[in-house]
Amino acid sequence: MALGRFAEPGLDEVAGSPRGRITEPEAVAVLALWLASPAAAAMNAQALTLDGGESA
């Protein structure tokens, strides 16, 4: 297990991610609110990935 910032179990996996941290629930909420708004009216049949660049 890594020492220091990533010593807490479960957080050491994010050490190698592009941002070095997990996606916050607030980021998911912002996306959900946008999808529910009139601004997203033209959006359909899409799979949105909100992973902080992990899959890039």
Cα angle vertex 45, ends 40, 47, to 5°?
Answer: 90
What pLDDT does residue 33 have?
95
Say whether pTM exceeds 0.75. Answer: no
- CA 49 from chain centre, in angstroms, equals 8
Taking only the tens place, the pLDDT of each residue in 10-29 is 666 666 667 777 788 898 99
Q: What is the rounded average pLDDT of the residues 29-36?
A: 93
Residues 53 and 11: their CA atoms lie apart, in Å, by 17
Could you state, in order of their start, the residue ranges of all structural domains in the chain? Answer: 1-56
CA dihedral 28, 54, 21, 17 (to 10 degrees): 180
pLDDT band at residue 1 under the 50/70/90 scheme: very low
